[in-house]
Structures are given as structure tokens and as C-alpha cells.
Amino acid sequence: VPKGAKAEDVKKAYRRLARQYHPDLNKGADAERRFKEVNEAHEVLSDPEKRKRYDKLGANWQQFSRAGGQRQGDFEWVFTGTPGRGFEGAGDLGGFSDFFRTFFGDLGGISQEDLVRGRRTNGRSRQRAGADVEAEVEIPLAEAYRGAERSISLQRPDGTTRRLDVKIPAGVRDGQRIRLAGQGAPGAGGARAGDLYLRVRVLPHPFFRREGDDLHAELPVSLHEALLGAEVPVPTMKGRVQLKIPAETQNGRTIRLAGQGMPRAAGGQGDMYVTVKVVLPQKLSGEERELVEKLAKQRANENVRSHLL
């Protein structure tokens, strides 16, 4: 998309490319890599703040935002969930770089000196709560449906590592944050540590489109199935089910499957809405063409556009 593309244009391009390069649909050698690149691009361009930083810094914006300038480390947080996106914060006693301050602020107004060791005032330690830290993790829609677990590794300068197993609840929404209390930046002067927030990014699915707790999908059906009615298999998050297509179903008709959507936080599940997409036959044989011509003669007086005139 061009640099000035609107959010709707970005979304359309993303859906088209995500379907084109999804590994389940595209078996090409570069499909997985391209699919990952498409998701990374969408993550940046769909977020106004990240897009602003990208416009200023170019393709390396995220590397700079994580590093915060030169790293001289008295402390660091390392997020190693897989699959997912990492976060790294590090610092020294001299304070964050001007670059980091300009684009990402001062961790809630707390100086880096306060975070690392606490500032001395009149011989007494000045207490400041540790800053909150945020990281991102990507999960497929199937894991968002049933819930998932991710491992997080918190590494200190002395080389010790502490692992946290994070449970991602079933039904989690794209952009939802999970709070890990006390796992952020250390506090100064004995104050409490900040919190670690995991922002969940739910990857797009080639068949399902999510709206709230409901799922939407397009179902191709043949002309004779739409005219005569049929029972056809439909994928759901629980597995395949048989869907009854009533006779004389029009193209674009939506059929509701109750309770086949995403789990709700308060209990129960959303619904699934299947939109029928009638696929017309191609390369008709002579006999098939004669049958259609016969039907056309029998319905010669039918005017499907009468409401437009």
C-alpha cells in the first residue's frame, strides 16, 4: 500500500495477502516467510502510534524502540515466548537516551537511576515503584479458542533466569492484555516492582473472521445445491458439522449456527454465521446448455429487475 493509505485500505490489503500466503493454503517455499512478513507489517500499520514511529524511523523502528539507544545494562527484561514478539529494556545509571525519551517516554516519569538503585536524598533512600513493562505474543485463532500457555524468561545481569508459565484464557481477543503482577521493572529503595503486561495478538484465519465473540465465514455451494437444497460439511472450531442448505437458497443468504462461536469470558459461546456463496458452473456441456435454455424458456416472463424500473 502507498505511504498515505487509509486504515481500510491497509485492512483490505492485509486480508488479501494473509489469505494468499497462509501456509495452510499456499505450499510455496516462501509462503511461511511472506505470511510472517505480512502479519508484521499489519501489526505496525494498523496501530496509529507504531505507524507514526515507522514513518519516522523506517524498517528498523522496532529494534530502536526495544533497545532504547546504547545498552549498558544494570538490568534487563527479556521475553522469550515462542511463538511471539519480544521486549527488551535495559539501562545504566546515566538515564535513558534522548532517543528513547523522545519516542517512548520515561517509563511513567520514573528515572532510570530510581529504577536501578534508588536515589539518595538527605542520606535516605527514595522509594519509587518499578515501571510496568509490556510485551506481545502472537497466537493462532485455534489457540485463542481453546486457550494456550506461553513461557516467559526473565533474565537478570548476574545471569540468573526465572521462567514464568503464562496461561492465556480461552476466548482471548486480539489486543487484550494479560497482567503479571510484580514481574516488571524492579522498584527503587525497596518499593514494589512494576507489572508485566502481555498483549495478545490473534493471527488471522483463512476461513473464519471474528467479530466480538461471533465467527463469520463464507461457504461455497454449487448451483444445484442452492436450488434443490442439500446438507454440506462446514468447518467449525469444534470440528466439522453438517449444515442444511434449504432449497432455493439465494446467494448471500446468512445461516446462523448457535453456540459455534468463541468462548465468552462470562460463560457460554458466541455464534457462527455462514454466508452462502453460490458458485456457478463453468464449461457447460452441450446437454447442460440445452437444459439451461429450456429453463430460460419456461421462465421467460420472469423479471428479476422489476423493482429497479
Give the DSSP per-residue string, the chain: --TT--HHHHHHHHHHHHHHH-TTT---TTHHHHHHHHHHHHHHHTSHHHHHHHHHHGGGHHHHHHH-SS---SEEEE---SSSB--EEEE-TT---HHHHHHH-STTT--HHHHHT--EETTEEPPBPPPPEEEEEEE-HHHHHH-EEEEEEEE-TTS-EEEEEEEEPTTPPTT-EEEETT-SSPPBTTPPP--EEEEEEEPP-SS-EEETTEEEEEEEEEHHHHHH-EEEEEEETTEEEEEEE-TTPPTT-EEEETT-SPBPTTSSB--EEEEEEEE---S--HHHHHHHHHHHHHTTT--TTGGG-
Architecture of domain 1-45: Orthogonal Bundle (1.10)
What cell was used for 309? 424500473
In tens digits, the chain (309 residues) has pLDDT values of 777 788 888 888 888 888 888 776 777 878 778 878 887 788 778 888 777 776 665 555 455 444 443 333 334 444 444 444 444 443 333 333 444 444 444 444 444 444 444 444 444 557 888 888 888 889 999 999 999 998 877 665 466 777 888 999 999 999 999 998 887 777 888 888 888 888 999 999 999 999 999 999 999 999 999 999 999 999 999 999 999 999 999 999 999 999 999 999 889 999 999 999 999 999 999 999 999 999 999 999 988 888 887
CATH 3.40.50.970 given to domain 209-299 = no
What is this structure's pTM? 0.57
Cα 160 versus chain centre, distance? 32
What residue spans in the chain does CATH classification 1.10.287.110 cover? 1-45
Fold of the domain built from segment(s) 47-202: HSP40/DNAj peptide-binding domain (2.60.260)
What residue spans in the chain does CATH classification 2.60.260.20 cover? 47-202, 209-299
